[in-house]
A and B are shown apart, each in its own frame.
Chain A
Amino acid sequence: MTRALINAPKTARRGEIVEIRAMLAHPMETGFRTGTMGKAIPRDIINRFVCTWNGEEIFSADLFPAIAANPYLAFTAVATESGTIAFAWTGDDGETRTAETEITVT
């Protein structure tokens, strides 16, 4: 199950620059830590984030272990048309977590 927090405006004027913030609940295990008996804890991070606006990619990020747990990203986008802003986080486990929000552009 995806536990994500998305913060984006519900409405915007055409051409307006809107701020989008996205956070996913994820431990972002670095792979540099050791657990009990000095056993290395395997790396498990979100390594790729993509944000699309009606299917068109507007922002993406390659993430490394130096990103804090519960990866948070804030960026901007030009409001062009009404539709769906979709978010996808892909992890080392190969799984993709998704979330989306609707926006009305007037």
Chain B
Amino acid sequence: MRDKATTSGLRRRDLVAGSAVLALTLVAPRAARARPTLEEAIRTFTGGADVKTGRVQLAVPPLVENGNAVGLSVKVESPMSETDHVRRIALFNEKNPQADVAVFHIGPRTGRAEVATRIRLATSQTVAAIAEMSDGSFWSHRADVIVTLAACVEDLL
């Protein structure tokens, strides 16, 4: 009799825990939707300026197994002189909970406009690299990545 009561008590506790998890999974996608779109994030970075395609080379594998660490590199065509160089390189994603990935501040002292890092991708999506030149122009390159095992799966059910 006593045994039975304990088991049913445990079940009730499990149910409470379960519903808490369910409630969170229902809330999580809404939080994810509140993020700015890729275009909005880029517009915030450029301040509304025109973004041209070209000069930037974003190298990222087209198919990755693990979204927790995706190696990528960005290369920008620029002489990197005092008068003509890349000021900033920004990375944005399309479907992570947050659009920003990183902003790199470089200049003539860097010698080459080349950076590499490892990023997280929550799902298959587009990654964009935007370069800001010393003359104030913006250039971009986008790449699509297919992710088979996502990063932070529990948030994107």
Residue numbers of A with Cβ under 8 A of B are: 17, 30, 32-34, 37-38, 53, 56, 58-69, 71-78, 80
Q: Which residues of A contact B154 (CB under 8 A)?
A: 33-34
Q: Which residues of B contact A17 (CB under 8 A)?
A: 111-112
- Interface pair B111/A78, CB less than 8 Å apart: yes
Interface assignment of B114: CB less than 8 Å from any CB of chain A: yes
Q: Scoring B residues 105 to 128 as 1 if CB is less than 8 Å from chain A, else 0, what string do you get?
A: 111111110111111110000000
Name the one of B20, B96, B116 contacting A38, with C-beta atoms under 8 angstroms: B20
Docked CA distance A37–B107 (Å): 47
Q: Which residues of A contact B70 (CB under 8 A)?
A: 68
Q: Which residues of A contact B108 (CB under 8 A)?
A: 78
Name the one of A33, A63, A75 contacting B110, with C-beta atoms under 8 angstroms: A75
Closest B residue by C-beta to A15: B111
Within 8 A of A (CB), among B57-111: 68-70, 73, 91, 93, 96-98, 100-111
- Interface pair B109/A77, CB less than 8 Å apart: yes
Q: Give the shortest distance, in Å, between B38 (CB) and chain A (any CB).
A: 13
Docked CA distance A53–B112 (Å): 16
Q: Give 12 CB contacts A-B under 8 Å.
A: A32-B152, A34-B154, A37-B21, A38-B24, A58-B109, A61-B102, A64-B100, A66-B121, A71-B117, A74-B115, A75-B106, A76-B112
